[in-house]
Structure formats: C-alpha cells, structure tokens
Amino acid sequence: MLTAFKPTTLLRALLMVSLLGLGNASLAGDDVAELTARLNDGASSVSARVRAALRLGTFQQASARRALERALRDHDAQVRGAAAAALGRIGDERSLAALRPLLADSSSTVRRQASTSVTQLEQGKAVRSVHVALGVAQPRSRSGRSLGPVIERAAQRALRDVPGVELTSKDAGSVQLLLEGQLVRLEGKAGNGYYAVSAKVDFVITSMPQRLIRGRMSGAATVHGEATAGRDRKALRELHRDAVAAATQSALTQARAALRADD
C-alpha cells in the first residue's frame, strides 16, 4: 500500500496520475526498457523520472526491480522516494538490502517511504508459497489457436518473477490455483505509414481442488509494424505473437496481489 507515503505536492499528484494508469500496459512508451532509459536520463525532468519509477513498479520483472534499486541512489529525493514506493508495490523481498540504507536517508520523506516499503517486504517474506498451474483455452479461429503457446510461454516468464508463486503441472496433487488464459481479442488496423495489431488476454483464477472461481485478470497491448505487414503473412504472424505476449504480460502485472496463498 502507498497510503503511508507522505510525498510532496508534486509527487502526490504524480502518484495519482501513475496509479490511475495501472493494469493495461502497452508497448508504446510503456515497456521496461524505455521506462528504465527515461528513469536514468539525467536530462529529463524530475516529474518524468518519478512517473517512470512509479510505472516500473507495476511490472513483475527482474529488470524493472533492478532499475528501481539503482534509482534508490539517485541524487533527487523525489526519485528515490518514488523508487522506494515502486519496490514496495512489486513486493520482492530481494530488494530489502537495497532499501534498508534509505532508512537513514537525508530526506525525511524518503525515510518514511523506505520504512513503509521495508515493512511491506518483511511481512511478505512470511507469506507461504502458492502452487499455480497454467492452462490456455483454445481459441476458435485457426490463427488464434497457434497463439495459445505464446500465451503460455509469456505467462511462464512473467510468473517466474512473482515472489511466492511456484509453477507446477495441472496433474500435480499440490496445485492450489489454476490460472487459465484466453485470447479474447486480436485485431489489426492500417494506419498512416504503419500497421497496428491489438490483443486482449483474460485469465481466470480457480481455486483447486474445489474449482471455485476466485478472480480474473485482463491485459491489453498494441504493437506497430511496417505498413506492409497487413499483407505479409510472416510479418503479421510476428505482430500477432508480440501483441499477445505483451497483453499476457500486462494481465500478469496484477499477479502478485491476485495469486495469494492466504486469501
């Protein structure tokens, strides 16, 4: 939770803007590499770097966590505070070593946020692991069926970075949750000098062995290619795969909160 963070007026506004945008990440200006570059760009405004830090906190990826840990040493207190808040949101206890030095930071705001995030992560260490099995519902269309493995591979990559989640097979007796993904939208559109493909992926979370639905996660993404991609089967397939993988990743930014063993 970020409620214990008492930021400056500027950072409070930026927190609101960033948190309103959580959930549906797209590759356009919203991927980890670009956000990391923005965060590290000393020529960018403090507000832009703060926004980048907060947005990175919505990605369950090791690269996002490492970028934020580096930002804890930034010269600007607002950037350090935003990075500390984002690491608390990610919830990976491996960040504790990087956060603890900020408990003695020169800024009282940063000290408070670091204290809140450290407490969150220390409490999270005591949460037991949950055994999760993955499944993918087969789309009706022929093109959609070929994208089922893309969803599964992207989900596996994303979930490996979620603390407390252990992937297992659906047949294993230890399964506690079944996470079943489905491609619900895939569409292309020609633009002025480009071709765009949009995808939406939904996941249903089912408690096992009771088979009770306990929640859903959704993600959407849009990727852009050359204007000729709509007429080039190979290029179009590549755009389809990229869009579906990104939509899967977007949905699973919510996995840390949704896949809790103690709920």
The full DSSP string for 142-180 is: HHHHTTHHHHHHHHHHHHHTSTTEEEE-TT-TT--EEEE
Q: Residue 165 — pLDDT band, cuts 50, 70, 90?
A: confident
* Virtual torsion, Cα 120, 121, 123, 124, nearest 10 deg: 110
pLDDT interval class at 107 (50, 70, 90)? very high
pLDDT at 6: 39
Is 246 a residue whose pLDDT tops 90? yes
Q: What are phi and psi of 164, to 5 degrees?
A: 85, 0
- The beta strand positions in 51-164, using DSSP E, are 130-136
- For residue 244, which of 173, 170, 164, 158 has the smallest C-alpha distance? 158
- Kindly state the average pLDDT of the residues 141-153: 78
Domain with CATH 1.25.10.10 in the chain: 9-125
Mean predicted confidence (pLDDT) in 145-150: 83
Percent with pLDDT over 70 in the chain: 81
pLDDT reported for residue 23 = 38
Question: Worst-scoring range by mean pLDDT, 26-30, 152-156, 213-217, 242-246?
Answer: 26-30
CB 137 within 8 A of CB 181: yes
pLDDT-derived band at 104, boundaries 50, 70, 90: very high
**Residue 29 clears pLDDT 50, i.e. is over it:** no
Q: In the chain, which residues fall in CATH 3.30.160.150? A: 130-258
The interaxial angle of helices 46-56 and 62-71, nearest 10 deg, is: 140
Least confident of 12-21, 53-62, 209-218, 225-234: 12-21
pLDDT value of residue 175: 84
Is domain 130-258 classified as CATH 2.60.120.560?
no
Nearest residue to 71 (alpha-carbon basis) of 114, 10, 108, 25:
114
Q: Regarding predicted confidence, which is higher, 6 or 92?
A: 92
Q: Is the pLDDT of residue 98 over 90?
A: yes
Query: If you classify domain 9-125 with CATH, what class do you get?
Result: mainly alpha
What per-residue confidence (pLDDT) applies to 144? Answer: 60
